[in-house]
């Protein structure tokens, strides 16, 4: 019996109904972009959500930032970390919360976030190395890059099982099987959901194209960075998001970043140094 293959729009629409982004993100955006908003206004929005506030403060004091002294208030975090940066941090945390109720039998969420957070940290380190403005944007993109996998796990679990089996049998990457089976991969699907959430293209495009960076039209650099971070993260073998194979590296992407190969050990060491604490902060929030 031939199963009907769900279209990308079908799955994305369905997911958007089930998983909705907290209003906080939009309100935050309104405030920080407001010509008359002050630090106090921004602080107020975050502190409304105590879980979010404490999580942000924990992150602000983690090795991720390495600030020399204790950041003990959100208002201080706003000034030191920056408003946009804080918004993106908040978005990352919120997204993790959105998917917190996925049952263990479908996928091990701890392992999933391990992988995503690893990619997020690598992306952020690569961006810092390149002295990109607002590195938190890369962090949140890393957190979100595999949400398409979650949609597939929750909305089409049978299909996922078949595709994973096909991948294991043929030895072909799971992502490639997704593409040949569905006509799109988890990246495309995740991108579609984020678009429906109103996330800007600077994040959605890298998510959508992270397995096919050549397709990125508007943000090729951000997409390349996401792709390279994903390859490095897979190679580090931390966590699991469905793909058992290390994705093949796109050489154009690597060259576009112009990061010397000699940097790789440093990137991995730095990632390791930040990973466990960030992981416990963010997954602690998940379990709370």
Among 135, 216, 229, 281, binds other proteins (CB under 8 A): 135
Of 16, 80, 102, 246, the one binding other proteins (CB under 8 A) is 80
Figure out which of the listed residues 47, 54, 73, 79 binds other proteins, where binding follows CB under 8 A: 79
Torsion angle of C-alpha atoms 183, 203, 278, 212, degrees rounded to 10: 40
Beta carbon of residue 169, minimum distance to other proteins (angstroms, whole number): 46
CB 151 within 8 A of CB 130: no
Place of tokens 């112009």: 258
Query: For other proteins, how many residues bind (rule: CB under 8 A)?
Result: 25
Q: Which of 43, 61, 85, 178 forms a contact with other proteins (CB under 8 A)?
A: 85
Which two three-digit tokens encode residue 185?
């991969």
Q: What is the dihedral of CA 151, 226, 59, 279, to 10 degrees?
A: 60
> Does 30 help bind other proteins (rule: CB under 8 A)?
yes
Task: Please say whether the beta carbons of 59 and 281 come within 8 A.
Answer: yes
The yes or no reply on residue 18 touching other proteins (CB under 8 A) is no
**Minimum Å distance from CB 65 to other proteins?**
9
Distance of CA 23 to the CA centre of its chain: 19
Residue with tokens 């309104």: 30
**Site for other proteins contains 73 (CB under 8 A):** no
- State which of residues 7, 13, 33, 170 lies at the interface with other proteins (CB under 8 A): 33
Contact 113, 240 (CB under 8 A): no
- List residues near other proteins by CB under 8 A: 30, 32-39, 67-69, 78-80, 82-85, 130-135
């Amino acid at each position: 019996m031939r199963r009907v293959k769900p279209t990308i729009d079908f799955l994305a629409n369905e997911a958007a109904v089930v998983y909705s982004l907290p209003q906080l993100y939009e309100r935050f955006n309104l405030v920080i972009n407001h010509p008359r908003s002050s630090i106090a206004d921004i602080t107020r929005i975050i502190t409304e959500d105590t879980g979010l506030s404490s999580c942000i403060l924990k992150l602000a004091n983690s090795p991720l930032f390495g600030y020399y002294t204790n950041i003990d208030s959100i208002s201080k975090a706003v000034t030191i970390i920056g408003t946009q940066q804080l918004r993106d941090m908040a978005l990352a945390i919120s997204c993790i919360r959105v998917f917190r109720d996925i049952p263990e039998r479908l996928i091990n969420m701890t392992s999933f976030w391990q992988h995503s957070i690893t990619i997020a940290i690598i992306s952020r380190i690569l961006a810092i190395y390149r002295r990109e403005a607002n590195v938190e944007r890369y962090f949140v993109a890393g957190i979100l890059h595999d949400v398409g996998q979650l949609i597939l796990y929750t909305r089409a679990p049978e299909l996922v099982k078949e595709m994973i089996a096909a991948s294991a049998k043929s030895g072909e990457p799971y992502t490639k099987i997704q593409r040949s089976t569905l006509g799109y991969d988890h990246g495309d699907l995740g991108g579609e959901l984020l678009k429906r959430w109103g996330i800007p293209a600077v994040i959605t495009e890298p998510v959508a194209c992270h397995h096919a960076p050549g397709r990125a039209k508007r943000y090729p650099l951000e997409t390349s960075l996401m792709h390279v971070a994903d390859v490095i993260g897979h190679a580090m073998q931390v966590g699991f998001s469905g793909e058992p194979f290390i994705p093949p590296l796109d050489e154009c992407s690597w060259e576009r970043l112009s990061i010397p190969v000699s940097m790789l050990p440093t990137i991995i060491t730095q990632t390791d140094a930040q990973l466990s604490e960030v992981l416990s902060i963010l997954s602690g929030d998940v379990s709370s």
